[in-house]
Amino acid sequence: MNRAPAALWALLAVGGAGVVSTYVLDGAQRFWANWLLWFVFMVCIALGALFIVALQHVTGATWSVPLRRAPERVAALTPWLVPVALIALFSLPVLFSWTQPGAASDPAIAMKTSWLNVPFFITRLVICVALWVVSYRILVLGSVRQDATRDPQATVRLRRFAPIFMIILALTLTAFAFDWVSSLEAGWYSDIFGVYLFAGAVTSGLAVTSLMVIYLYRRGRLPGITEDHLYNLGGLLFGFTIFWGYIAFSQYLLQWYADLPIEVFWFRERTTGTMESVFILLGVGRFFVPFLALITRRDKKNWKRLRWVSIWVIFMEAVDVFWLVSPIQGKGLHLGWPEAAFAVFFLSAGLLVVIRAMGMGEDTPVGDPFLPDGRNFHLR
């Protein structure tokens, strides 16, 4: 098992103290807004990595078999969604206006009460998190057990379950997006909001996976891996960046064109005043920077470039979630020591989980019968 640096534990303690201080000094609303922000971010990273694992099984890709343990280890964040989600439930009466007495007097909320009620909301969360954890145990722990058993039938079972997980992910992530982000302002609605969150999850999951692959690759722990493998990772990150840009622009354009008051207020809050700078940063940094940085074949296989682009994409995913969640606190750019404390706490905790997961199984899925094919992969 890999041992975490003492500095990370120190950062976790400092961040934890800052998190507690936020509640005491700045009040419940800022505390829960930040908790929700990092809950959504953690869901995106964990499910994005789990999607990449399932995608390899669904497509039957062999080139990615030697790299698969990287997203599997990142997906180790999934079980930790349980305590974070349970704590997040306490934010309901603070952040979600539809939980307040008399909220149903608003016609926009009244038509959604069959969906937006606390018992059903909690039930959906429990079902979603349970399905994510079960899927993690099947896809990831099943793969790790194959290292010891060398049973080729395990690969068959994983490939049979992967399409089922894709359906689970589509339904649960859509429900999660509507429940935990969209319903913060229950009068607003977007048909493709679940797809928007999915696009962010996949790009950020790919970015974290790429960082782990590069880390192992540079230390000689992935024998047989060449620039051709890195090129495919870069190509996926490039492709899903375009996908995110398409969904983000489509969502904005459709509501801007319709110009319905019940829709455009949500974007007005996030594109005017101090939030305008975040909106511009998101548009430029989330799409154009990674798009231009990975546009050529040479750029995609350059591990140094792929590394900094991946770090940038992860940062921009945090900016994206901040842009989605932070306006619930009211006008203004809510950035200060509480946001820094939450970032330190959750990032150090996430790194500790991933470092611990580095000792999970071999660095490559040695029991997978397609591993030799993956190591012999070369672009033509």
Query: What is the tens place of the pLDDT at every residue in 153-191?
Result: 999 999 999 999 999 999 999 999 999 999 999 888 888
State the average pLDDT over residues 355-364. Answer: 91
pLDDT band at 100 (very low <50, low <70, confident <90, very high): confident
Nearest CA to 146 out of 67, 138, 2 is that of 138
Among 92-101, 259-268, 316-325, the minimum mean pLDDT is found in 259-268
The Cα diameter of the chain in Å comes to 64
Please enumerate in sequence order all residues whose Cβ is within 8 A of that of 147, keeping only pairs 6 or more positions apart, or say none.
Answer: 361, 362, 365, 366, 367
Percent of the chain with pLDDT over 70: 99
State the average pLDDT over residues 199-228. Answer: 94
Provide the pLDDT for residue 380: 67
Cβ–Cβ under 8 Å, residues 241 and 291: yes
Percent of the chain with pLDDT over 90: 81
- Would you say residue 132 has pLDDT above 80? yes
Cα separation, 222 vs 111, in Å, equals 54
Count CB neighbours of 276 within 10 A.
Answer: 12
Average pLDDT, the chain: 93
- Would you say residue 7 has pLDDT above 90? no
Provide the pLDDT for residue 2: 64
State the average pLDDT over residues 28-39. Answer: 96
Cβ–Cβ under 8 Å, residues 118 and 103: no
State the average pLDDT over residues 326-330. Answer: 88
Cα distance from N-terminal residue to C-terminal residue, the chain = 38
State the average pLDDT over residues 341-365. Answer: 94
Cα separation, 45 vs 206, in Å, equals 9
pLDDT band at 341 (very low <50, low <70, confident <90, very high): very high
- Would you say residue 235 has pLDDT above 80? yes
